[in-house]
Amino acid sequence: MSSLAPALGQIAVLAVALAVAVPFLGRYLAHVYTSPKHLAVERASYRVLRLDPEADQHWKTYAMAVLGFSLVGILGLYAFGRLQDLLPLSLGFAGLPADGAWNTAVSFVTNTNWQWYSGEAATGHLFQMSGLTVQNFVSAGVGMAVAAALARGLARNLQDGRVGNFWSDLVRTVVRVLLPLALVSAVVLVLLGVVQNFLEPQTVHTLTGGTQDVTGGPVASQEAIKELGTNGGGFYNVNSAHPFENPTPFTNLFEIFLLLVLPFSMAWAFGRIVGDKRQGGAVLAVMALLLGVSIALLTWAEMAGPGTAPLLAGGAMEGKEVRFGTAGSALFGAATTGTSTGAVNSMHDSFTAPGGGVAMFNMMLGEVAPGGVGSGLYGMLMLAVVTVFLAGLMVGRTPEYLGKKIGQREIVLVALYVLATPVLVLGGIAVAITASQGLAGLQESGPHGLSEALYAVTSAANNNGSAFGGLTSGTPFWNTLLGLLMLLGRFVPIVLVLALAGRFSAQRRLPPGAGTLPTHRPLFVALLSGVALVVVGLTYVPVLVLGPIVESLS
């Protein structure tokens, strides 16, 4: 019980902090996406970019703006990585290889932040600040903008497929939400001991009598938006296990709070945007329920651990920082895979087989508990449409969600969304384990080797970015494959979400009738939770059986 008390204590503190912050931030987000006014700095940005923020875009125009903006980001970041050695503040590091620059560019633009390289040994300060950190802001902004467009589509009546203005949504998200929150969070992290400087690598003497070069840098500023934007790319190779990124148990809990607060707040904002706060509360309840189950299972798996040694150590401590322990590592692991963050404070490859399976399952769930900023909300709303459709079939009525009928075209879009990521994951693992270049990257054979490859393709296709760690991924084969999975896993779902938003926007919003399924009550919360689990279970259980489940039984 003594070892369980700290785990319960930190979960309770986190829950209270979120309960206080989410309603306030959710109301603010709803105001950001519904206010007709523009700030002076926003108007200046529109003039410089020659954009009309008042233009109400059709969903196809909105989607083209998302894709075009992201394409420019990929090309720019690719060039930045290739030419790094010619730029200031490179710290003497060479430019990235072609396959590595491709992977990195796609990774950060898609909000995945998968890293095949060691940050402190491959990227200079300018690339970190002006390349990677900038994408941390705008890639998060894209996800939040798309979620706002879907909420707007559900709230509108007969708007001919118009879902808002992407440029206005993006600029508002960055200027009014991400920049101020990241600034405050970075200052807090600096005060708590996270490094922020522009020093050259410092030579220090180790306890064994040798020397080691230690790289500093603008760590706190990247750490803040890395967590807030559910990005996940670490300044250092060991990510949030490094004492310069995450020095104490308190900073560990603070960073977990940062990576959860915006995804939950987006659900709260959704209820206000559609004019029914109860709808946002129901979506948030499903997210919280699924995350709570994930935390409980992963904490149990890691604190119990198999064998005598973990029992004596108070849990499975391999691959974990002693300053966080099993409870802090399990909580971080559940939160980072329940969102699309991908930051890690422990080696997921060293998790127990059940613990690693839970982390994988979180990502396979579509990262909707609570998911990435924006992507978690629109992913959960797509599952809500599935739930309403199935319930409508059971009672013989045309299904409706928030007054919008779900017909053939709508359910086809949702079905394609639900199938897109599993096709990428299962197709990706099939390619990885049948190609000799893919097998060459595996550290282990048997079930755990399959888990290493499965975790990588799942992380890439779901835009998470965390890794098991046993996989040698910095090769042309893996960089190319994972880059393709990240690209398709981000933008295919986004286009389908915007198409559905356009369909809903063009409809008349109908009043609820006697046969309408209430989507704000505990029954719907239970149904939506069940649909999320069943959809994942039917899709991924066979491959999970071959990996973590077989390893658990052996």
pLDDT digits (tens, 9 = 90+) for 224-276: 999 999 998 888 888 999 999 999 999 999 999 999 999 999 999 999 999 99
**Residue-wise pLDDT tens digits, 74-125:** 999 999 999 999 988 888 889 999 999 999 999 999 999 999 888 888 888 8
In a domain, residue 284? The reply is: no
pLDDT in tens, 417-428: 999 999 999 999
Is the pLDDT score of 1 beyond 50?
no
Asked whether the beta carbons of 82 and 101 are under 8 A apart, the reply is yes
> Between the ranges 4-8, 204-208, 305-309, 454-458, where is the mean pLDDT highest?
454-458
pLDDT of residue 393: 81
Cα–Cα distance, 287 to 274 (Å, whole number): 19
Residue 123 belongs to a domain: no
How does the average pLDDT of the chain come out, rounded?
91
Q: Is the pLDDT of residue 541 over 90?
A: no
Instruction: Count the helices and strands in the chain (H runs, E runs).
Output: 22, 6
- Residue 91 is assigned to a structural domain of this protein: no
pLDDT score, position 216? 84
User: Does residue 220 carry a pLDDT above 90?
Assistant: yes
Specify the pLDDT at position 306. 59
Residue 2 has pLDDT above 60, yes or no: no
CB of 418 closer than 8 Å to CB of 397: no
Please tell me the number of Cα atoms within 13 Å of 128 on its side-chain side. Answer: 31
Alpha helices in 396-475 (DSSP H): 408-434, 436-439, 446-461
How far is the C-alpha of 101 from the C-alpha of 269, rounded, in Å?
A: 36
The CA distance from 420 to 337, in Å, is 19
* 233-246 per-position pLDDT tens digit: 888 888 999 999 99
Locate all alpha helices (DSSP H) within 192-322, ordered by sequence.
219-228, 249-273, 277-304, 308-313
Query: In degrees to the nearest 10, what's the CA dihedral of 540, 545, 547, 552?
Result: 130
Sign, CA dihedral 110-111-112-116, equals: positive
Q: What is the pLDDT of residues 494-507, one digit of tens each?
A: 999 999 999 999 99
484 within some domain = yes
Q: Is residue 468 part of a domain?
A: yes
- Spatial contact of 464 and 341, defined as CB atoms under 8 Å apart: yes
pLDDT digits (tens, 9 = 90+) for 35-71: 999 999 999 999 998 999 999 999 999 999 999 999 9
Q: According to the model, what pLDDT value does residue 16 have?
A: 97
Region 390-406: mean pLDDT is 85
- At 515, the pLDDT band (50, 70, 90 cuts) reads confident
User: What is the number of other CB atoms lying within 10 angstroms of the CB of residue 35?
Assistant: 11
Nearest of 130, 135, 140, 129 to residue 104 by alpha carbon: 135
Report the alpha-carbon distance of residue 65 to residue 79 in Å, rounded.
21
Kindly state whether residue 295 falls inside one of the protein's structural domains. no
Instruction: Give the CA dihedral 287, 292, 295, 301, nearest 10 degrees.
Output: -120
What integer is the mean pLDDT of 321-331?
Answer: 90
Q: Which residues of 197-224 are buried (b: 16+ CB within 10 A; e: fewer)?
A: eeeeeeeeeeeeeeeeeebbbbbbbbbb
Q: How many domains are there within the chain? A: 1
pLDDT average, residue stretch 19-42: 96
Q: Is 90 exceeded by the pLDDT of residue 552?
A: no
Residue 234 confidence (pLDDT): 83
Q: What is the mean pLDDT of residues 277-302?
A: 95
pLDDT reported for residue 164: 95
What local confidence, expressed as pLDDT, does residue 309 receive? 46
* pLDDT the model gives residue 502: 97
Report pLDDT for 473: 85
pLDDT beyond 50 at 470: yes
- Say yes or no to pLDDT of 398 above 80: no
- Residues 345-381: tens digit of each pLDDT: 998 888 888 888 899 999 999 889 999 999 999 999 9
pLDDT over 60 at 311, yes or no: no
257 belongs to a structural domain: no
pLDDT at 310 over 60: no
404 DSSP β-pair partners: 401
> Is residue 427 a part of any domain in this protein?
yes
Q: Which domain holds residue 543?
A: 373-553
